[in-house]
A and B are shown apart, each in its own frame.
Chain A
Amino acid sequence: MKKQVKFGVGIGVILVSMGFLAWMGYGESKTYYHTIAEIETLKGTAAAHRIRVGGTVQPGSIHHVTGRTDFVLLGEGKSLLVSYTGNDPLPDSFIDNSQALVEGRITADGHFNAEHIQAKCASKYEAAPGEVARPAPAKS
């Protein structure tokens, strides 16, 4: 019996500590998916979360300003003003009409401050609707 207890304790320690670390990592990195339309309706704590939102880059809306890149994301008939302030270079596939997935937070004045961008080129994927882009991640 004693050795079973020992094994139980060993396994338990590993599982509990991993569970704890997982929970911490979860708290640190959890990101909510929202659509552009939903962002307008977010209130209170929901608006303070890290958010990931996807849409199409409005043609002609990309403006490079020192330290950031501004553009407009379109989706479901709504639009969202995004400022990308991340350190990584913009992905090559980030162009007019590309589909972009941005990650960041909503600022006080209502625009979206993105820290990460993933983009895939829309024209390329119309031919193969099931195809998954391996998005060029702008990772930290």
Chain B
Amino acid sequence: MDVFGSFALLLAFVCALYALLGGIAAIFTRHPLLIKSARQSGIAACCLIFVSTLSVVYLFVTDNFSVAYVASHSNRDLATFFKVVALWAGQEGSLLFWCFLLSVYIFSVLIAYRNKHGELMPYVGAILAGVQLFFLTISNFVANPFKSLAVANASGGLDYLARADGSGLRAVLQYPEMIIHPPNLYSGYTGFTIPFAFALGALLARYPGEKWIHLTRKWTMIAWCFQTIGILLGAHWAYAVLGWGGYWGWDPVENASLLPWLTGTAFLHSVMMQEKRGMMKVWNVWLVFITFFLCILGTMLTRSGVVSSVHAFAQSDIGGWFVGFLIIIMAVCLGAYFKNRDYLKSENQLDSMVSRESSFLFNNLVLLVACIAVVSGTLFPVFSEWFTGSRISVGAPFFNKVNIPLGLLLLFLTGVGPLLAWRKTSAESLRRNFLWPSTMGVVGMVVALASGVRDLYALVCFALCTFVATTIVVEYYRGARVIHSRTQMNWLSSAVELTLRNTRRYGGYIVHFGMVMIFVGLAGQAFNREVQKEIPVGGTVNIGPYELLLQAMDQKQEKNYVAERMIVEVMKNHKPVMILFPERRNFPAGEESGTMVAIYSTLLEDLYVVYAGVNQGSTVPTIHVFLNPLVKWVWFGGVVVVLGTLVALLPSRQAVLVLAGGKATEPAAGFVPAVQSPVSLREGHD
């Protein structure tokens, strides 16, 4: 099977090469057969990658320890489930997996648009094949997952050998989040390839109009959704597994996943300016280019160890390849831009500071500045070494100082932007739209103050959260009221109907609401508390309203590890609440140990308990307890964001009475008597 898979991978390389070269030839010659063959070669490459990936999984499941990758990431006792997901546990496999997910996207695009957009698709196909080719080069020639275990013998040749058992899957990876986190994140990373290919293809082909934006909107949202899920799952994994009490530590790998999310979010917003007003064309194209660039950069940071290690490139053999690829991407993008930049001329100018356009502009600015801050902070060691010779890193204070105010500004814009009119907003509409939200914002702040919040950023955050949430509720109420008064449906069905009539707009509001919830959770970080203590059995430790009693210690033998547990009784205000079992797991296969955090989670706060090991001197176990307020809001908010994105992906229902849409659908004055719906006042809102 290893030969088979390896051969499929090589054949995929050849097919992708043909799809690229044949595609380029097809663009110049316009020969229909050449176009068709390039496309089919692209499809074949995808299928071969599927086959090759499946054969790696097969090697894992059948315990083929003659393959180096399998031997170093699995062992016989590992549950079959983990054997399958061990595919993405290490370098070679995860790069192949990256390629696999990319191929799923490419395959869908090539099939879905096979008889459409004849002018554009050859360009798109060739660009996609080019990206695929890079990853196939890596998987075939640099980090091949099918490499056999071999040792050099005395005569200089190689002896193949198979090990009786593998070294096992890394302990920290044996958690459910780790199974679903990488596929989501990679689906995000790879997904942005599609809008990139369409944007670059449209630019190269001088494809008329805003067609590429309409074509790629869904793909961008799917990629964005996966990226969001991936980031949050990663955060949740860090929270539940690493045992340091937090979920975001500005680690280079975390930052790498955040970067394309920031620019992707900026892109999702700024394309609306192009759709509605024909502005920001250059900006949009570059946002897609940069998002894709950051996806590749992120993959490189994650996989090559440029930053997290002390010894820059020394320990990695793929960093150089990625740098080369990044340079090629930049060169192609710059070349295409300078050749065809007249195609991107803006049709309109900004009219007013208080307008939808300017709120989008500032939204983009904030996201971009945040992105630049995160990039520069993450790559600071690399840059400082270039410029000053000494390697300097920056830590969490740097990232927090910049990103907290930016995040709050963004939150503010989330509330303000959707309520501003295109071009110019009148003072009257400002007053009407913002009276309630501002009042509620002030109320939110007062309530927070009264409940003892003294941290400035947290106060502002709570005030803004109530402000934004109110704008969304008011918008929903106004829209639903129109439907309610006309159809006599109840309020809930009216709200659902409203959402389905303009999924893009109201899906967007749901996403915004989810973001508000996430911000509530983030603000909770200001009040984290922790205590670490050595406690003997029978001893107690106090934190906030909780008292924790260590009842006993025990050991549990599992198939793949030995668990050492603390049995901790939790009491709140002297009443027993529940028993928690923080564990340490020792994995004999890899001579590793892992932490299993026990969390008692409520909407208000998380009680997070870590068994921090035994003091070697006194043999007394150490307990580390954190009290983290509002953490659950982050995860719930994430779910809401994802739901909102899914709603926004639905096609809008065509209602008899069109509330939203183009200019032609503005209701006549007599049509909506008395209720001058703010929804219909703004043309083409999203």
Contacts and interface: CB of A to CB of B under 8 A. Distances in A.
Interface of A: 3, 6-7, 10-11, 14-15, 17-18, 21-22, 24-26, 28-33, 35, 52-54, 63-66, 87-90, 92-93, 101, 121, 123-124, 127-140
A90 B624 CA distance: 11
Interface residues of B, number: 78
B55 to A, nearest CB: 20
B398 A28 contact: yes
B397 A28 contact: yes
Interface string B351-388: 11100001001100110010001001000010000000
18 contacts: A7-B361, A11-B365, A14-B369, A26-B398, A30-B393, A31-B394, A31-B395, A52-B393, A64-B615, A87-B532, A88-B244, A92-B593, A92-B595, A128-B69, A130-B318, A135-B308, A139-B249, A139-B396
Given A31-B395, A92-B593, A127 B353 contact: no
A127 B172 contact: no
Interface centre among B251, B253, B393, B613 (most CB of A within 10 A): B393
A117 to B, nearest CB: 11
Given A137-B249, A137-B251, A22 B402 contact: yes
B167 A136 contact: no
Given A7-B361, A136-B242, A138-B244, A92 B584 contact: yes
Contacts of A10: 353, 362
Interface stretch (B209-217, B309-317, B540-548, B649-657): B309-317
A136 B325 CA distance: 30
Interface stretch (B269-277, B299-307, B332-340, B660-668): B299-307
A101 B308 CA distance: 10
B569 to A, nearest CB: 21
A66 B616 CA distance: 10
A128 B170 CA distance: 13
A31 B391 CA distance: 8
Contact of B402 (A18, A66, A90): A18
A32 B392 contact: yes
B91 interface: yes
B452 interface: no
A54 B310 contact: yes
Contact of A128 (B72, B242, B584): B72
Given A21-B402, A22-B401, A25-B394, A89 B309 contact: no
Nearest to A15: B369
B591 interface: yes
Contacts of A54: 309-311
Nearest to A6: B353
Contacts of B373: 18, 22
A26 B618 CA distance: 40
A129 B317 contact: yes
B390 A129 contact: no
B18 to A, nearest CB: 29
Contact of B243 (A7, A26, A89, A140): A89
B350 A7 contact: yes
Contacts of A25: 394, 397-402
Contacts of A63: 616
Residue of A11, A53, A54, A127 ringed by the most chain B CB atoms within 10 A:
A127
B171 interface: yes
A13 B136 CA distance: 46
B624 A89 contact: yes
A124 to B, nearest CB: 6
Nearest to B586: A92
A130 B315 contact: yes
Q: Which of A11, A25, A136, A137 has the most CB of B within 10 A?
A: A25
B278 interface: no
Nearest to B385: A33
Contacts of B310: 33, 35, 52-54, 101
A14 B366 contact: yes
Given A121-B592, A132-B309, A89 B397 contact: no
Given A17-B405, A22-B401, A130-B305, A32 B391 contact: yes
B590 interface: yes
A131 B253 CA distance: 13
Contacts of A88: 244, 624
Contacts of A136: 172, 242-244
Contact of A33 (B143, B391, B616): B391
A72 B636 CA distance: 45
Nearest to B303: A132
Shortest Cβ-Cβ A-B pairs, 6 listed: A25-B398, A89-B612, A25-B401, A33-B391, A127-B72, A29-B395
B673 interface: no
A28 B401 CA distance: 10
A6 B396 CA distance: 33
Given A18-B406, A87-B530, A124-B167, A130 B304 contact: yes
B164 to A, nearest CB: 15
A6 B409 CA distance: 18
Contacts of B315: 129-130
Of listed A29, A31, A90, A138, residue having the most chain B CB within 10 A: A29
Nearest to B173: A134
B82 to A, nearest CB: 16
B90 interface: yes
A89 B616 CA distance: 13
Contacts of A28: 397-398, 401
A20 to B, nearest CB: 9
B353 to A, nearest CB: 5
A122 B246 CA distance: 26
A85 to B, nearest CB: 12
B143 A130 contact: yes
Contacts of B612: 89
Contacts of B598: none
A123 B316 contact: no
A33 B380 CA distance: 11
B308 A93 contact: no
A116 B390 CA distance: 20
A108 to B, nearest CB: 23
A65 B618 CA distance: 9
B617 interface: yes
Interface string B327-353: 000000000000000000000001111
